């Protein structure tokens, strides 16, 4: 049985999809603590901006209990395409959402959302069926519990999606520390407190 090719992320061919990070839905997330989850979602936003990746925001049935998009993401991406879906549960069923993705001309989708088993899994499976490469950011996607989380990950993996965390997404996009040591290092240190120790150590050595 042949091994599949290593399909690595390419910052020139990737687009970030932030699906249904809404104030109501986020209250359902139990597989991460609230502070940890918020930090991970904003870290993904940080790296999207750092690498200049096209970013698309979407929400589902905002006027219902799902609630509006979390304000931090609106502030972070004021100019990004924002698709407020009137009712479609699977974002891929919304024509404007798919058009926004295809308008970028990019084939690698970096996706995160709430909840993992629905709002992430459904568009992931749909995009894979249309020939896109999909990279699911596991720690910026949340759901009811770890049992549901694992089942969703398995379902998407079996269909061909790659499971990654935001840190590995950042490193794979960056490729080589020499591209920008301090830029990526500072991004990481803002979201990973322990990483700040590395940057402080590096700064002290560099000052000698």
Count the alpha carbons within 13 Å of 170 in the hemisphere toward its beta carbon: 25
State the residue for tokens 């935001």. Answer: 166
Query: CB-based contacts of 107: which residues, under 8 Å, 6+ apart?
Result: 13, 131, 132, 133
Q: What is the DSSP letter of 56?
A: E
Contact, 49 vs 76, CB < 8 A? yes
Contact, 162 vs 7, CB < 8 A? yes
DSSP per residue, 94-106: -HHHHHHHHHTT-
* DSSP alpha helix (H) spans, the chain: 34-50, 71-76, 95-103, 121-129, 146-159, 166-174, 181-191, 193-206
> Among 111, 119, 152, 161, which one carries the catalytic annotation?
119
Instruction: Calculate helix-pair angle for 193-206, 181-191, nearest 10 degrees.
Output: 150
Has 119 been annotated as catalytic? yes
- Residues acting as catalytic residues: 119
């Amino acid at each position: 049985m042949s091994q599949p090719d290593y399909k690595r992320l390419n910052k020139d061919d990737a687009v970030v999809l932030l699906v249904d990070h809404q104030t109501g839905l986020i209250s359902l997330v139990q597989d991460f603590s609230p502070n940890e989850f918020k930090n991970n979602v904003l870290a993904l936003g940080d790296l999207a901006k750092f690498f200049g990746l096209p970013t698309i925001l979407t929400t589902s049935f905002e006027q219902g209990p799902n609630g509006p998009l979390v304000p931090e993401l609106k502030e972070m991406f004021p100019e990004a395409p924002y698709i407020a879906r009137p009712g479609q549960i699977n974002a891929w069923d919304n024509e404007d959402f798919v058009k926004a993705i295809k308008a970028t001309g990019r084939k690698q989708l970096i996706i995160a959302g709430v909840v993992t088993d629905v709002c992430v899994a459904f568009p992931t499976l749909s995009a894979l069926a249309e020939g896109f490469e999909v990279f699911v950011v596991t720690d910026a996607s949340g759901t009811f519990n770890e049992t549901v989380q694992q089942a969703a990950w398995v379902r998407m993996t079996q269909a061909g999606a790659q499971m990654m965390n935001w840190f590995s997404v950042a490193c794979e996009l960056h490729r080589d520390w020499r591209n920008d040591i301090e830029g990526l290092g500072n991004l990481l240190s803002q979201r990973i407190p322990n990483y700040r120790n590395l940057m402080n150590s590096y700064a002290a050595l560099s000052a000698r």
